[in-house]
Amino acid sequence: MDELELINKAKDGNKSALNSLLQDNFDILKGYTVKMVGNPHLAQDIVQDTMLKAVININKFEPRAKFSTWLIKIATNVYKDYLRKNRSYELLDENFIDKGHEVEDIVMSNYEYKEIMKIILKLPYEKRAVFVLKHYYGYKYEEISEIKDCPIGTVRSRLHNAVKYLMKEIERKEII
């Protein structure tokens, strides 16, 4: 069954179709959220909230874009709300670094993973979102500008700045 058919059935109240849609898009949503948040526990909460909002608002979804794009847009807003309420995304990033031991335990011997994650988390939220969407998911500038509700020029300059910063940091930390 293709995505459009599942979406139509889900809109008609078919729980199984809605469940399939959520299951099919779980990995991409999880990957995006983990990369944005850098903390698996918080990522789990955000994924749950995102899915709940998607279920509540499924009738508002217009299948012009992919379902995964819509989920990512919701996740971006949920995370943004979280940051606004907690006013501490930098603190969260520091949190990740401070809790280095925990992450180290999870990541085990994966030094590079931890270092790259730390570098990405040091990026301001807006640039991080653009970079993650572009680099890991290959979204076009136009799609990112729709997800982020900002002009294409802003997306482009955020990506340029993010990439230059990441390159500089990777080089400085001698990961290359």
Binding-site size for other proteins (CB under 8 A) equals: 45
When asked if residue 42 is in the footprint of other proteins (CB under 8 A), the reply is no
By CB under 8 A, tell whether 27 contacts other proteins.
yes
51 makes contact with other proteins (CB under 8 A): yes
Q: How far is the CB of 22 from other proteins (least distance, A)?
A: 4
* Residue 147 buriedness (CB in 10 A; 0-12 / 13-18 / 19+): buried
For 47, residues 6+ apart whose C-beta sits below 8 A from its C-beta are: 26, 29, 30, 33, 75
Q: Are 29 and 69 in contact (CB under 8 A)?
A: no
The Cα–Cα gap between 19 and 28 comes to 15
Give contact residues for other proteins (rule: CB under 8 A): 15, 18-19, 22-23, 26-27, 30-31, 34-35, 40, 43-44, 47-48, 51-52, 54-56, 106-107, 110, 112-113, 116-117, 120, 134-136, 140-141, 156, 159-160, 163-164, 166-167, 170-171, 175-176
